[in-house]
Amino acid sequence: MADKRKMDGKRVLVSGSGTGIGREVALEFARQGAAVAVHYSHSARGAQEAVDQILSAGGRSAAFKANLESVQETRGMARQALAFLGGLDVLVNNAGITMNLPFEEVTPEQFDTLYHVNVRGMFFLTQAVLKALLEARGAVVNVTSVHGLRGYVEHSVYAGTKGAIIAFTRQLAVELAPRGIRVNAIAPGCVPVKNHFKDVPDADVPKAIADAGKTIPCGFAGTPVDIAKVAVFLASDDARFIVGQTIVADGGTTSWLAFGEQFKQPMMTRFGKGYVPGL
């Protein structure tokens, strides 16, 4: 007899699931047996393709639009998704946008846009589905980034939003765990997706991905599937004792002291000479 799928009978809403990591998260939950509400903000094409793929495999899915900058639209989308699903067991807060600019060039409008989509949208979407999650004793999985844990040039706004998500995850987990809801987060590292290359029309994408992998201790870049499988795990009963944590999935990036590429070859310098025996 085949093993029971981890998400059989579950109802899942994934924000920002028309493209990239979010799309693969939605597809993986469906592969694991869940009915999935696919959210998108702008183009319906990717979201509908994901829905069609789920339906063709015998699953249940529909797409719902909302600009997460608008609390009103966010709440309206939540109502529609809950009506379609008939409740909610898992919310995956994946939607987010990025931007890189030197700190001194960031405008108030750019700052507000990133915080409204990446943080405020997540906050009020979770609030909008809270009653359903309480009834189901469900789970919330927030998608943050290694940028919330480590610094990088020209990411002052984006990194701030991702750090806020980590703090929000920790705080909300403490508040909701006694009420039966587990809240955790995933911090992906280098996971190339189509949007990363849209401003470089002639990019050699396979080479760019391979080159990116050379900068990571494990030797390869991650894929959206890698993150999707972590999301399913965190939402499943297998993770029932994991609460308020940010799981880093980055191939070793944040474990590496970035002083060079010493992880690839023996170091020539020996620290501790004259103090440590044998050196």
Residue 247 pairs with which residues in a beta bridge? 186
Cα-based angle 25, 138, 180 (whole degrees, multiple of 5): 145
Residues 6 or more apart in contact with residue 101 via CB below 8 angstroms: 110, 154, 157
DSSP three-state, residue 35: strand
Distance, CA of 191 to CA of 21 (rounded, Å): 8
DSSP structural state of residue 201 = T
Distance, CA of 262 to CA of 23 (rounded, Å): 36
Q: Which of 40, 115, 158, 275 is catalytic?
A: 158
Rounded to the nearest 10 degrees, the angle between the axes of helix 108-115 and helix 156-176 is 30
Distance, CA of 170 to CA of 135 (rounded, Å): 21
Q: How many CB atoms lie within 10 A of CB 72?
A: 10
Instruction: List the structure tokens of 101.
Output: 């600019």
- Among left, alpha and beta (phi > 0; psi -120 to 50; other), residue 256 is beta
Answer for the pair 112, 160: CB distance below 8 angstroms, yes or no: no
Residue 158 catalytic? yes
Q: Cite the active site residues.
A: 158
